[in-house]
């Protein structure tokens, strides 16, 4: 009989220690060590000293066929996965509670089942009756999806091995699964890792595609050991704000496709509706003619997306002004503010700055620098930007505006949505193909754009506000960057 071995395992990173301690030295998290029995954490076949079997080795040369894919029937989901589910692949889907993970996977399995493929939905958190209620609400009760409420990995693998191999298997969720090979409680690092490994072995052996649903922590990271993310073939993140009806499916890791594509969905009473043109959705509720709003022409993967950037610059009474960002990198905002102050003479040290990406989309590319700067200056000087203009360009630390990739695709999307002009880097003019009749306003440096916006500024309402704005010289018609420096010094 094997001797019982106890160790303290970090529930965040999976590091093991011989004794308990408050802080994990591996990941730096506090109070994440839990006592686990690791006697059976390694299978007997791995612990034994038997000699392994030999296998044939192959060379790099040879004919390689593309991995066969199975279309899910949802265009946005296929876009993120790279064209569909690959046979024998394992995907990990994470997202906040209530964001719509179960709804998305219920719709995907129902569409596959209606197409004649065997689709299985295993729920470890809900009963079969609860899953049926969701299917009835979505209008998918007639789909021949095979349901089960089970948490034992051995029983699941044994049941799925009978009959025809399922084309798609959904495990909701991996944190509720447990295996007999380890003695730990379900949800612990050891159980999650062992259960995921058993399901991955079944997928590779049978050729079935498996989707694992994972819980997320308070900071948005998928809960459990990071080694699970390394074992699976793709990691998908389902994002969105609770107050918004938009949902974004993003690939964090994908061995069989791109990682910069996004899928856009809209949550409705009948489930998730695919959004083929996200730009119209994100711009449907624009604040036309309001200072501090600029339309950014961005690229998400291979698809151009137009989204509105909203900025608010307000005087502060605090010693340290606030810098709040939603949907953009806070370090990029700090850089843009530093460039505006150093090279354009726009002093924002006495103002609170708020920046928001409308619609709940998260922007990751630096091409949004120019749109963010235009929105900030527009809010500062109370000068509405043209409603038919789009902005894109990367700002360097010297104040120059650098070109970005796929300029033609951005301009075509803007022209298709009825925009009449585009503000873009001057060096990108040679890359412009068919601009769709747009008026191109090129800028070589940020100073010229700031001066142009400031020249259209108007005083804010209120006597004190008028005197303050006039004293800082940011609302007069003849404002220039030199005027900013002289009157703010």
**397 and 442 part of one domain:** yes
For 13-58, write each residue's pLDDT tens digit: 778 888 888 888 888 888 888 887 655 545 444 444 556 678 788 7
How far is Cα 186 from Cα 215, in angstroms, rounded to an integer? 13
Which phi and psi angles does 302 have, rounded to 5°?
-105, 5
- The 3-state DSSP class for residue 379 equals helix
Which phi and psi angles does 218 have, rounded to 5°?
-65, -20
**261 and 113 part of one domain:** yes
Nearest to 369 by CA among 312, 313, 425: 425
For 188-234, write each residue's pLDDT tens digit: 888 888 999 999 999 999 999 999 998 876 666 666 656 788 899 99
Does residue 73 contact residue 108 with C-beta atoms inside 8 Å? yes
**162 and 311 part of one domain:** no
Report yes or no on 52 lying in a domain: no
Report yes or no on 59 lying in a domain: no
Give me the residues of the chain with pLDDT under 50, please: 1, 41, 43-48, 462-489
How far is Cα 314 from Cα 471, in angstroms, rounded to an integer? 16
Report yes or no on 48 lying in a domain: no
**34 and 165 part of one domain:** no
Nearest to 302 by CA among 80, 77, 93, 86: 80
Quickly count: other Cβ atoms within 10 Å of residue 463's Cβ.
8
Domain limits at 357?
281-488
Domain termination site, one of 229, 253, 276: 276
Rg (CA), the chain: 27
**203 and 301 part of one domain:** no
How many domains does the chain fold into? 3
Domain termination site, one of 260, 276, 292: 276
Report yes or no on 56 lying in a domain: no
Please give the pLDDT value at position 3: 56
How far is Cα 75 from Cα 68, in angstroms, rounded to an integer? 17
- The 3-state DSSP class for residue 383 equals coil
Please give the pLDDT value at position 484: 45
Please give the pLDDT value at position 151: 93
Does residue 294 contact residue 422 with C-beta atoms inside 8 Å? no
Residue that is written with structure tokens 């695709």 in the block: 409
Report yes or no on 47 lying in a domain: no
**339 and 252 part of one domain:** no
First to last CA, the chain: 81
Domain termination site, one of 230, 261, 276: 276
Does residue 261 contact residue 77 with C-beta atoms inside 8 Å? no
Report yes or no on 50 lying in a domain: no
HEC string of 212-273?
Answer: EEECECCCCCECCCCHHHHHCCEEEEEECCCCCCEEEEEEEEECCCCCCCEEEEEEECCEEE
Nearest to 18 by CA among 4, 1, 35: 35
**33 and 133 part of one domain:** no
Residues β-bridged to residue 236: 93, 251
- For residue 272, what is the domain's CATH number? 3.40.50.300
- Decide the pairing of beta strands 421-425 and 69-70: unpaired
Say what the alpha-carbon torsion angle 366, 369, 372, 376 is, to the nearest 10 degrees.
150
Question: CB within 8 A of 218, min separation 6: which ones?
Answer: none
Tokens found for residue 321: 């002004």
**360 and 470 part of one domain:** yes
The alpha carbon of 375 is separated from its chain's Cα centroid by a whole number of angstroms, namely 24
**330 and 388 part of one domain:** yes
- Buried-exposed string 369-404: b where 16+ CB fall within 10 A, e elsewhere: bbbbbbbbbbbbbbbbbeebbbbbbbbeeebbbbbb
Please give the pLDDT value at position 360: 79
- For residue 305, what is the domain's CATH number? 3.30.230.10
**270 and 285 part of one domain:** no
Say what the alpha-carbon torsion angle 285, 291, 292, 296 is, to the nearest 10 degrees.
60
**185 and 288 part of one domain:** no
Q: What is the DSSP annotation of 326-378?
A: ESS-HHHHHHHHHHHHHHS----TTEEEEEEEGGG----SGGGHHHHHHHHHH
Report yes or no on 57 lying in a domain: no
**261 and 295 part of one domain:** no
Please give the pLDDT value at position 166: 94
Report yes or no on 111 lying in a domain: yes
Please give the pLDDT value at position 478: 37
């Amino acid at each position: 009989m094997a001797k019982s071995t106890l160790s303290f395992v970090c529930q965040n990173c999976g590091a093991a220690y011989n004794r308990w301690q408050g802080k994990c030295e591996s990941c730096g998290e506090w109070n994440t060590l839990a006592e686990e029995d690791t006697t059976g954490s390694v299978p007997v076949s791995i612990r034994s000293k038997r000699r392994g079997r030999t296998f044939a080795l192959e060379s790099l040369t040879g004919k390689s066929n593309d991995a066969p894919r199975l279309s899910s029937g949802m265009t946005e989901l296929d876009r993120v996965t790279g064209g569909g589910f690959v046979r024998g692949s394992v995907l990990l889907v994470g997202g906040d509670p209530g964001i719509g993970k179960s709804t998305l996977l219920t719709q995907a399995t129902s569409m596959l089942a209606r197409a004649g493929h065997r689709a299985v939905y295993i729920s470890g958190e809900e009963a079969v009756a609860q899953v049926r209620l969701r299917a009835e609400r979505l209008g998918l009760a007639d789909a021949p999806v095979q349901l089960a409420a089970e948490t034992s990995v051995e029983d699941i693998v044994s049941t799925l091995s009978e009959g025809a191999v399922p084309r798609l298997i959904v495990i909701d969720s991996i944190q509720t699964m447990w295996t007999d090979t380890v003695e730990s409680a379900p949800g612990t690092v050891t159980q999650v890792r062992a259960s995921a490994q058993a399901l991955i072995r079944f997928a590779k052996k049978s050729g079935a595609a498996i989707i694992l649903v994972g819980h997320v922590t308070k900071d948005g990271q998928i809960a459990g050991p990071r080694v699970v993310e390394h074992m699976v073939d793709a990691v998908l993140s389902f994002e969105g704000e609770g107050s918004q009806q938009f949902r974004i499916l993003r690939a964090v890791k994908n061995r069989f496709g791109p990682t910069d594509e996004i899928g856009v969905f809209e949550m409705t009473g009948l489930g998730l509706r695919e959004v083929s043109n996200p730009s119209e959705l994100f711009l449907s509720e624009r604040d036309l003619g309001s200072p501090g709003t600029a339309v950014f022409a961005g690229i998400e993967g291979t698809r151009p997306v137009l989204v509105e950037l909203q900025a608010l610059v307000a005087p502060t009474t605090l010693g340290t002004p606030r810098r709040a960002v939603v949907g953009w990198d806070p370090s990029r905002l700090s850089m843009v503010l530093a460039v505006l102050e150093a090279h354009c003479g726009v002093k924002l040290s006495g103002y609170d700055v708020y920046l928001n990406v409308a619609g709940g989309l998260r922007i990751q590319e630096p091409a949004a620098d120019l749109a963010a700067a235009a929105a900030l200056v527009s809010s500062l000087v109370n000068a509405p930007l043209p409603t038919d203009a789009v902005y894109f360009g990367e700002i360097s630390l010297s104040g120059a505006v650098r070109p970005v990739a796929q300029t033609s695709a951005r301009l075509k999307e803007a022209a298709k949505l009825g925009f009449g002009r585009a503000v873009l880097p001057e060096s990108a003019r040679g890359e412009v193909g068919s601009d769709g009749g747009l008026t191109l306003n090129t800028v070589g440096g940020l100073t010229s754009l700031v001066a142009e916006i400031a020249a259209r500024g108007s005083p804010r309402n209120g006597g004190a506000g008028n005197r303050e704005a006039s004293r800082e010289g940011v609302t007069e018609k003849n404002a220039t960057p030199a005027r900013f420096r002289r009157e703010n010094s």
